[in-house]
Amino acid sequence: MNDIQISNLETIPGTKIIKHLGMVQGNTVRAKHVGRDIMAGLKNIVGGELRGYTELLTDSRVECTRRMLEEAHERGANAVLNVRFSTSSVSAGASELFVYGTAVIVE
């Protein structure tokens, strides 16, 4: 899967799309951790980055991107274009991170 190019553009400059394979996607739903909430509460008092939440979101982006790339790989794509991320609240304390794009073969 490391050979799949990812771009938020509709095309990759210098390449030509030779086959459209459809939309691919990946998602993950994550809940907050009590320990992270306590530290976040303290940070809200003194200010600063909420590192626990930053790590949670980074891990979530990596996971859902990996899932999207697995789907693209299964379809035979060598690129995923027009990649977008979206978030939504699933329940109190849990959020979904969703990534999607268009799987293509470029040359």
pLDDT of residue 38: 56
Percentage with pLDDT > 90 across the chain: 65
At 28 the pLDDT is 95
pLDDT recorded at residue 93: 76
Residue 23: which CATH number? 3.30.110.70
Q: Which amino acid is at 55?
A: E
Number of domains in the chain: 1
Cβ neighbourhood burial of 22 (10 Å; 0-12, 13-18, 19+): exposed
- Contact call for residues 102 and 30 (beta carbons, < 8 A): no
Q: Which string of b and e fits 88-102 if b means at least 16 CB within 10 Å?
A: eeeeeeebebbbbbb
Note down the domain range covering 10.
5-106
CA 24 to chain centre: 12
Residues 20-56 have pLDDT tens digits of 999 999 999 988 765 555 555 555 666 777 777 788 8
Residue 76, pLDDT > 80, answer: yes
